[in-house]
């Protein structure tokens, strides 16, 4: 028998902070790992995909980035179902453990010159493990945080997830800048790029330790106490939650694609298209990502006051309208306008990603919450967002006008925002417990209704 579930509203401030750290630290590590792959894509390309063309090697490395995200729906299905059957805490431990192991192995993987075709093959495999892990991390950490959030502050608490992701990007850029300043170009190309991958592993162990010490959420405790844990959450979602999955797909197509532009492509754009020195590009991206992380918190708090739907739709429309102007600012090659361009992009991206993060949880009933949100989120991430950096780089390589790489995100945001205008409900007052996530305008608390 499950012990009596804790009262989500009676936790101490220190316990609340510990939960925020636990939810955020794994997410930070997930996106730090992904960011450094993007920042060192050129070096990875020369090590594992040697070619007479540096552009071909870079595109090959970015293609592996896209291929890995085909594993995201699989990871979302598996880890999401585990979270709905065994608890949010166990799913979080699994996702961060897999990511840490794969990252450490990439750090020590021999190059093509040493083991031939096995090198890129193993790299693809490890990137798939990372994609599998990422498929469960975002929605898993969000479910844990939102189900533990105080009444009326779910948007603010959920913003910890995109905020820590952005900080992970900034830390990845900072580590790349540090390595560039300490090592010669040939040292970076041969072994220096491996340092941040290796350094990430002990931080992953810290995140795993913190998550082991967590208690389960009150919502899941009560599902167990009432014997309402889903036995077949995937089947239940596919049968009864198709609309929620479709909405999640459209939301994630915009929000994840925008995040990938910031996390992996912008630094490539600044160096290859804008002609900015790599060191300058790295600190520009780091500064822009830090500002963006703060904007995520503002957008999350605002959604608690005015609602998720208007902030989300405004964010999607803003990306459709201002993504190209933002990239034109970055294309000037000057640090000031480039940071302004990242911030312009980041304002609307923050509005969309913070509301998407909390709505992924509010859209689904408690017993299938992780599975439903993970399916829709990761299908959008894999099919639409995953190829984003590769498509953007390919558009830039055509030699067209400087804003051309941003047309992909602009078109995706426009199409999905139109669909969401008709499909997206307001979820701010939905209860997170019970049999369904039905709207209840009289309350915004997070405990299973008696």
Q: How many CB atoms lie within 10 A of CB 269?
A: 25
Domain that holds residue 249: 16-214+240-423
SS3 content of the chain, % helix, strand, coil (to 5): 80, 0, 20
Query: Is 226 inside any structural domain?
Result: no
pLDDT band at 443 (very low <50, low <70, confident <90, very high): very low
pLDDT for 2 equals 41
pLDDT band at 4 (very low <50, low <70, confident <90, very high): very low
At what angle are helices 88-108 and 72-86 packed, to 10 degrees? 140
Tokens for 424? 């997206």
Counting residues of the chain whose pLDDT is more than 90, the rounded percentage is 45
Residue 359 near residue 427, CB atoms below 8 Å: yes
Residue 249 near residue 376, CB atoms below 8 Å: yes
User: Per residue in 148-183, pLDDT tens?
Assistant: 888 789 999 999 999 999 999 899 888 988 998 899
pLDDT for 58 equals 65
Residue 194 near residue 61, CB atoms below 8 Å: no
**SS3 of 233, please?**
helix
pLDDT band at 406 (very low <50, low <70, confident <90, very high): very high
pLDDT for 5 equals 45
Q: Which residues contact 72 (CB under 8 A, 6 or more apart)?
A: 131, 132, 134, 135, 378, 381, 382, 386
Distance set, CA 46 to CA 159, 185, 339 (Å): 37, 13, 29
pTM (2 d.p.): 0.85
DSSP 8-state code for residue 231? S
pLDDT for 444 equals 39
| pLDDT value at 65 more than 50 | yes
DSSP 8-state code for residue 430? B
pLDDT for 391 equals 92
pLDDT band at 437 (very low <50, low <70, confident <90, very high): very low
Give the Cα separation of 272 and 206 in Å (integer).
36
Q: How many CB atoms lie within 10 A of CB 266?
A: 30
| pLDDT value at 440 more than 70 | no
pLDDT for 26 equals 77
- Residue indicated by tokens 């995909």: 49
pLDDT for 450 equals 27
Handedness of CA 33, 36, 41, 45 (dihedral sign): negative
Tokens for 208? 């795993």
Task: List Cβ<8 Å contacts ≥24 apart for 330-338.
Answer: 330/266, 330/269, 330/270, 330/274, 331/269, 331/273, 331/274, 331/402, 331/403, 332/274, 333/270, 333/274, 333/275, 333/276, 335/276, 335/280, 335/283, 335/284, 338/270, 338/274, 338/276, 338/281, 338/284, 338/288
The domain that holds 309 is classified in CATH as 1.20.1250.20
Give the Cα separation of 365 and 376 in Å (integer).
14
Q: What is the dihedral of CA 210, 73, 420, 321, to 10 degrees?
A: 80
Residue 357 near residue 229, CB atoms below 8 Å: no
| pLDDT value at 436 more than 70 | no
Query: Is 234 inside any structural domain?
Result: no
CA angle in degrees (0–180, nearest 5) for 312-313-315: 65
User: Per residue in 9-57, pLDDT tens?
Assistant: 456 677 777 788 888 887 888 778 877 887 787 788 888 887 666 666 7
Residue 211 near residue 26, CB atoms below 8 Å: yes
Query: Is 91 inside any structural domain?
Result: yes
Query: Is 187 inside any structural domain?
Result: yes
Query: Is 446 inside any structural domain?
Result: no
User: Per residue in 353-370, pLDDT tens?
Assistant: 999 999 999 999 988 998
Query: Is 162 inside any structural domain?
Result: yes
User: Per residue in 227-281, pLDDT tens?
Assistant: 888 788 888 898 889 999 999 999 999 999 999 899 878 988 999 899 999 889 9
Burial class (CB in 10 A: 0-12, 13-18, 19+), 14: exposed
Tokens for 91? 């799913």
pLDDT for 62 equals 66
Residue 201 near residue 107, CB atoms below 8 Å: yes
pLDDT for 345 equals 98
Which of 75, 17, 13 lies closest to 210 in space, CA to CA? 17
Query: Is 430 inside any structural domain?
Result: no
Distance set, CA 230 to CA 6, 59, 76, 95, 305 (Å): 21, 43, 16, 21, 33
DSSP 8-state code for residue 421? H
Number of domains in the chain: 1
Average pLDDT over residues 426-436: 77
User: Per residue in 304-325, pLDDT tens?
Assistant: 999 999 999 999 999 999 999 9
User: Per residue in 75-130, pLDDT tens?
Assistant: 888 998 999 988 888 898 898 889 888 988 999 999 988 998 898 889 988 988 98
Query: Is 378 inside any structural domain?
Result: yes
DSSP 8-state code for residue 7? P
């Amino acid at each position: 028998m499950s012990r009596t579930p804790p009262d989500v509203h009676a936790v101490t401030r220190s316990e609340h902070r510990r939960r925020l750290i636990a939810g955020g630290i794994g997410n930070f590590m997930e996106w730090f790992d992904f960011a450094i792959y993007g920042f060192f894509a050129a070096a990875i390309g020369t090590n594992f995909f040697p070619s007479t063309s540096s552009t071909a090697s870079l595109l090959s490395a970015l293609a592996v980035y896209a291929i890995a995200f085909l594993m995201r729906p699989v990871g979302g299905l598996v880890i999401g179902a585990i979270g709905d059957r065994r608890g949010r805490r166990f799913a979080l431990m699994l996702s961060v453990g897999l990511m840490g192991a794969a990252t450490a192995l990439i750090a020590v993987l021999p190059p093509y010159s040493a083991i031939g075709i096995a090198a890129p093959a193993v790299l693809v495999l490890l990137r798939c493990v990372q994609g599998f892990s990422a498929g469960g991390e975002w929605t898993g950490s969000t479910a844990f945080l939102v189900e533990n959030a105080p009444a009326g502050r779910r948007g603010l608490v959920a913003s910890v997830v995109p905020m820590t992701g952005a900080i992970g990007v900034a830390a990845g850029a900072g580590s790349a800048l540090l390595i560039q300043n300490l090592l010669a170009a040939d040292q970076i190309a041969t072994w220096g790029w491996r340092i941040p991958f290796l350094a990430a592993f002990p931080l992953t162990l810290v995140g795993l330790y913190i998550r082991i010490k967590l208690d389960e959420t009150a919502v899941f405790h009560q599902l167990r106490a009432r014997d309402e844990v889903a036995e077949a959450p995937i089947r239940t979602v596919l049968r009864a939650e198709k609309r929620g999955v479709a909405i999640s797909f459209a939301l994630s197509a915009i929000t994840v694609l925008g995040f990938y532009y910031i996390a992996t492509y912008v630094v490539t754009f600044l160096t290859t298209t804008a002609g900015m020195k790599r060191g300058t590009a790295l600190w520009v991206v780091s500064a822009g990502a830090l500002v963006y992380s703060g904007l995520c918190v503002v957008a999350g708090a605002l959604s608690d006051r005015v609602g998720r739907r208007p902030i989300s739709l405004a964010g999607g429309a803003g990306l459709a309208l201002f993504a190209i102007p933002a990239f034109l600012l970055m294309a000037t090659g000057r640090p000031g306008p480039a940071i302004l361009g990242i911030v312009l992009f980041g304002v609307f991206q923050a509005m969309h990603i913070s509301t998407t993060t909390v709505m992924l949880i509010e859209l689904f009933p408690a017993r299938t919450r992780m599975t439903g949100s993970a399916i829709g989120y990761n299908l959008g991430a894999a099919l639409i967002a995953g190829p984003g950096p590769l498509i953007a780089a390919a558009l830039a390589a055509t030699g067209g006008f400087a804003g051309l790489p941003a047309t992909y995100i602009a078109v995706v945001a426009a199409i999905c925002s139109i669909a969401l205008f008709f499909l997206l409900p307001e979820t701010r007052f939905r209860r997170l417990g019970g049999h369904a996530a039905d709207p209840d305008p009289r309350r915004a608390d997070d405990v299973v209704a008696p």
